[in-house]
Chain A
């Protein structure tokens, strides 16, 4: 009986050691070479297209400065048109 116990203990120990030896390695911590961060595709320098018509005609102050003053001509018309 005593022998059986010793053999059982040894077997258990072997199993434990074997288990330890086959234990999965810790999750790989190896650093995978990362994909290089894609850099922005080289683009042409953005050229602002100025719409001069809109720029001026939406600018009240500019219009006030540049609007041609209207010359009021006194009408010679008389009566209802």
Chain B
């Protein structure tokens, strides 16, 4: 949607004033003082009181707030999981500075979903300060998760249909990602969202897939070998080499990515677990390079090869019929679909050994 005008961002609707939240005094949440003078009224103003959820939201919503600090949306722990894995402790101060300038703005407060648009799309109240129990998808979820998941799900890439769940079911993000999953992060996933149980899982709805009596024999044959996306997603966005710096002219942080391209890559599951037993998964190139943060210091990612740059991914463009599930032959022994060594940049070969497919699945006679 078009960016909001400055006045629209702070315009409070009359109906908010009679709502449960609107009956609170403005100052009790936002600070400031009662004054007809704007500058004086805004003294010590707290623009987003929900940045302190325990104090503001927790008064009534204790259960939700209790998990806020463990929530990946709030603590962005996923970033630090990979930064720590790829670096050494000595690099952490420089990486923290980088993180503060370039990554921390992705931190999400309660208000960023339920009251206003996130800052990355210019902010502003969603609906005259009314609280939205279910955040509007395109103004909150895909406003942040837009360049990959949002564009794929909504079908914004030319000639690539949107996700079947959106096209035919008009399902929004919360149809699968329930509020309780978004408010809290399961213990196993606190360091990595792909760890532990799949939440959500395709089989939560598609219960008969792979079960006895499933009329689609391919489900039974492949169910523990392939992640669902291997057969049911299509080409998706990949990015290479994001580099960050501070502008010499404006002082603002900025980034540049070396390349963005569409592609579909089946690779090996780098971490086979009981919950994710798949041998093959879809892989997306993360926009990381060994010198991504060189503006903040040399050799900050000394353990760059500790993690693959081709990352286990769950593209959000699910289709019932895809080029690779047309027939056995369309996938088996088809080098175009698999992440083979020749598709990996030479400087990233070592990092990606756990996911590179060296031997294609055999041709079905």
Contact = CB atoms under 8 A, between A and B. Distances in A.
Contacts of B11: 57-58, 60, 63
B35 A75 contact: no
A57 B42 CA distance: 12
B174 interface: no
Contacts of A47: none
Given A52-B35, A53-B41, A76 B12 contact: no
Interface string A44-65: 0000001111111110100110
B38 A56 contact: yes
Contact of B254 (A51, A54, A76, A80): A76
Contacts of B34: 50-53
B250 interface: yes
Main secondary structure of the interface of A (DSSP, over half): loop
Given A51-B26, A53-B26, A58-B12, A76 B250 contact: yes
B252 A73 contact: yes
A55 B239 CA distance: 48
A69 B6 contact: yes
Contacts of A64: 5, 7
A50 B34 CA distance: 9
Contacts of B6: 67-70
Contact of B260 (A51, A63, A79): A79
A70 B7 CA distance: 10
Interface string A2-27: 00000000000000000000000000
A66 interface: yes
B252 A57 contact: no
B203 interface: no
A80 B247 contact: no
B97 interface: no
Nearest to B37: A52
B239 A79 contact: yes
B336 interface: no
A55 B250 CA distance: 36
Contacts of A35: none
Contact of A79 (B5, B35, B257): B257
Greatest chain B CB density within 10 A among A51, A53, A54, A69 is at A53
A75 B41 contact: no
A77 interface: yes
A81 interface: yes
A58 B13 contact: yes
A78 B34 CA distance: 44
Nearest to A77: B254
B250 to A, nearest CB: 6
Interface of B: 5-7, 10-14, 17, 25-27, 30, 32, 34-36, 38, 41, 147-148, 237, 239, 242, 247, 249-250, 252, 254-260, 287
Given A52-B35, A79-B257, A80-B239, 18 more contacts: A50-B36, A51-B26, A53-B26, A53-B41, A54-B26, A55-B36, A63-B11, A69-B6, A76-B249, A76-B254, A77-B254, A79-B255, A79-B259, A79-B287, A80-B237, A80-B257, A80-B260, A81-B257
20 contacts: A50-B34, A51-B25, A52-B36, A53-B26, A53-B41, A57-B12, A60-B7, A63-B10, A67-B7, A68-B6, A73-B250, A73-B252, A76-B252, A79-B242, A79-B258, A79-B260, A80-B239, A80-B257, A80-B287, A81-B147
